[in-house]
A and B are shown apart, each in its own frame.
Chain A
Amino acid sequence: MSLIELKDVSRIYDETVVPIRAVDSVNLIIDKGEFTAIVGPSGSGKTTLLNLIGGLDQPTAGKIIVDGTDISTYKPDVLINFRLHHIGFVFQAYNLIPVFTAKENVEFIMLLQNIPKTEREKKALDFLQAVGLGDRVNATPAELSGGQQQRVAVARALASSPSFVLADEPTANLDSASAESLLDLMENLNQNNNMTFVFSTHDQKVIRRAHRVVTLQDGKVKSDELNPIRIKNEN
């Protein structure tokens, strides 16, 4: 069974003078274990599409089935809970709570899931170790570099034991070295833990790292292809 399934999904912004078809009749299936990039020029609808998949926005038309549930008709409050337990998020920047340390940021999402304190603390340390920040657990976001902050965000996303991780332009604010190493981390987690990643980008270097590339243009899927080099690496 597919992990994510979009059936004829449209999202039309009609508050504007001329209605904008930000996502236009998209059909898309993403399976468990994919490492997929949503690409396209600015304004092509990447963020809108990820928001729809992530339950942050509701479609004007069509069905979105995530983890076997149709979330397209869920009420906002139900969606919050759904996101908490099914989806990990990494945003472009300012993901973290500035007054919390790295460890507390990771712990916090598990607190929201009502996981007991000792387990929370242990898991938080484990995940920070896994993203290579075992020695910076008590640093606040301001004391971390942009790349390190994004790693904490990845650790937080993983800590909630999600079905998949959505990342909207996770490398957009990073220099290329940090971007590469963040992708290394994500790819590792994908290979070793079979964690599904769906991320958006318009950076060619990042696109090359994806296993599957879905290209959007004016809200429509323009192309959907596998990346032969990366697929080969996998085997």
Chain B
Amino acid sequence: MERKYFDYSATTPVDSEVLNEMLPYFNNDFGNPSSVYSYGRDSKKAIENARYKIAKLINADAREIFFTGGGTESDNWAIKGIAIALKNKGNHIITSSIEHHAVLHSCKYLEKHGFRVTYLPVDKYGLISLEDLKSEINDRTILITIMFANNEIGTIQPIKEIGKIAKENNIYFHTDGVQAIGNTVIDVKDMNIDLLSISAHKIYGPKGIGALYIKKGIKIDPIIHGGAQERKKRAGTENVPGIVGFGKAAEIAYNNLDKNIQDLTNLRDKLIKGIFDNIDYVILNGHPHNRLPGNVNISFQFIEGEALLLSLDMVGICGSSGSACTSGTLDPSHVLLAIGLSHEIAHGSLRLSIGKYTKEEDIDYLLQELPKIIKRLRNMSPLYEKVKGGE
């Protein structure tokens, strides 16, 4: 059975062009970038070349890009590194209630060490309120960290406006751009972003490599201590093939950004429309248009998400869900609860995320299989029975 992949928000396959650029750095050009002989110099050059390409994608200077072990490390570094560097200035951080766990758990950790964190609520579309943000700022506030685009519901925040507020109040602004990069325009200068977390594996690069953009002049402590790599800010021998792959992936993303956004938006809207036309009792989660071009998140009433994922898997379709039964805990996703969904509606959520290898036929196939599956599961559901009067 052919597999149809609808989980690009979880991760993406490495583009073969990216892989080809990486391969020589595993064996032929294996040198340690810190060494002085030619092997080392070649690796060093490759790193700087990648740094330049990544900077270009977000309109930064190459010297403002620092490589990390992925989006999670970038988030940890931005938040803990700023908190420690500015601890004499203040102890208050503002974030949102729908952040990725890399941000939320970093904030929780800091709360145990004397910092205060405000978790801004979001509206039913997943947007924070700029008025709320302004009113929570006080003279102890040292950092605002609000994600660019949400990984579950795809909602894109008003980043430029948040950046403006942060700047007016002289507070550092970090944003988790892991889902946004390559899927929407990111301009750190225009948007007044001080720190930006990004990761390669969401843009057809390898896993385990990411970067933190740190605007020139920002005060931040390292959290990984050791050698003098990354201008003494992030120790450890560089993941050279990973960095090279990230650079190539960023270059491809930059060259295809507009087309990628347009193509994905068209497919996404076809998918959403197809579901709404063919299945009743459905709810679109997230913002109707301020959302990632590849994100669809829909709740199917009266059924549970894990049963839906298993059924889809049996016909070769890979998706994800915010149901409690997929999380290993007793609670559904914090994002779905934050936008005000009841437990029941959150349980029936399905995230379908598409990417550059998604074909129109894949959407057609999904639209052919999904209604049958929903019908089968609803016919088993005591909740549906109540609505349909035991039909």
| A and B part of one assembly | no
User: A residues near B, CB below 8 A?
Assistant: none
